[in-house]
Structure formats: structure tokens, C-alpha cells
């Protein structure tokens, strides 16, 4: 019985992951208590969901993927350039609801989302790693705050990336 429980735990842990919704934006802003805390033009808005099993490997892979994702138009208007190559801005917003479980009933469960004591350090490491990857400051919302996110999706281009499903 012990071996079966261990196997189930390993399967569960292998399915845990950092998720990101990346939106190419013409403009974006984050407002908290009627005050704009982040604002950008021509770049990316990244909604980031963190689970307890996420680690530095997930952060490194995901930040590299986002910085180098070729979703901006080149001189022929072909998506061939990254936010790094276009010197675009990035805003990262924590989004625990990306890990909503909706299988049972109509009220989502957020049990898979990391608790703040785990998620905040990982979120901060992600932002720092992304800044290092870009070579410039990344703007953020405030972890756990009630944020109003305004964006003008360019394209629209929206990409969902899962750090444990690296296809």
C-alpha cells in the first residue's frame, strides 16, 4: 500500500506547474486603490500562477521562454521577433486563479495554488530572473492585492504556457 500511495503522490507532484498567460499588448496598466502601479506600451502582460511544487528550474525555463517568444512582427509583419528584440515592456501580475479546479460543482477550488509564504518568494524570483533575461526592469502588480488590470490586446495574441508541459 505504501508504494501505491508514493506513486500517486509522485504523479500528483508531476502535474503541478507554474502557468503563465502571455498577452501581446499595445498598452496595459495595473491599478490598485485608484492608483496606477504599473503601465506599459507595446510589450507583454504576463499573468502568472504558481503552485507549491514550482522551483527555480520552472522559473528559469519560463522566464527564458517568455523573453524569447517570437510573437512580435518584423519588417514584413511576420511574428518573428521577441519582446527582448523589440525592447518591449513586460508587466507581471500574480494570478492564483489560473490554478482553479472546476471539475466538481460551480465554485472553483484554488487548492492547487501555492500559499503566499511559498508563492511570494517564487513570484519575486521569477520577476528578477525575467529582468535578468531582458536586461531591463519588469513592472508588476502587488501580490495578493485587488488589482484592476486594463489591457489592449494586440492581434489579439494570447499564449498559455505551462512549465511542466514543455512542448
Catalytic pick from 6, 31, 86, 97? 97
Long-range contacts formed by 123-132: CB under 8 A, 24+ apart: 123/48, 123/50, 123/92, 123/94, 125/56, 125/59, 126/18, 126/48, 126/50, 126/59, 126/62, 126/63, 126/92, 127/92, 129/59, 129/60, 129/63, 130/63, 130/66, 130/67, 130/90, 130/92, 132/63
Catalytic (active site) residue 140: no
List, by residue number, the catalytic residues: 97
Amino acid at each position: 500500500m505504501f508504494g501505491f500511495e508514493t506513486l500517486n503522490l509522485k504523479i500528483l507532484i508531476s502535474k503541478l506547474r507554474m502557468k503563465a498567460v502571455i498577452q501581446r499588448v499595445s498598452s496595459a496598466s495595473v491599478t490598485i486603490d485608484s492608483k496606477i502601479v504599473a503601465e506599459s506600451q507595446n510589450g507583454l502582460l504576463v499573468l502568472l500562477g504558481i503552485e507549491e511544487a514550482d522551483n527555480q528550474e520552472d522559473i528559469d525555463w519560463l522566464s527564458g521562454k517568455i523573453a524569447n517568444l517570437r510573437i512580435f512582427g518584423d519588417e514584413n509583419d511576420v511574428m518573428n521577433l521577441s519582446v527582448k528584440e523589440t525592447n518591449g515592456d513586460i508587466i507581471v501580475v500574480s494570478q492564483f486563479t489560473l490554478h482553479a479546479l472546476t471539475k466538481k460543482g460551480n465554485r472553483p477550488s484554488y487548492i492547487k495554488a501555492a500559499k503566499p509564504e511559498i508563492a511570494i518568494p517564487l513570484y519575486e524570483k521569477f520577476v528578477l530572473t525575467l529582468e535578468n533575461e531582458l536586461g531591463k526592469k519588469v513592472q508588476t502588480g502587488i501580490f495578493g492585492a485587488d488589482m484592476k488590470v486594463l489591457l489592449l490586446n494586440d492581434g489579439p495574441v494570447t499564449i498559455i504556457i505551462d512549465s511542466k508541459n514543455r512542448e
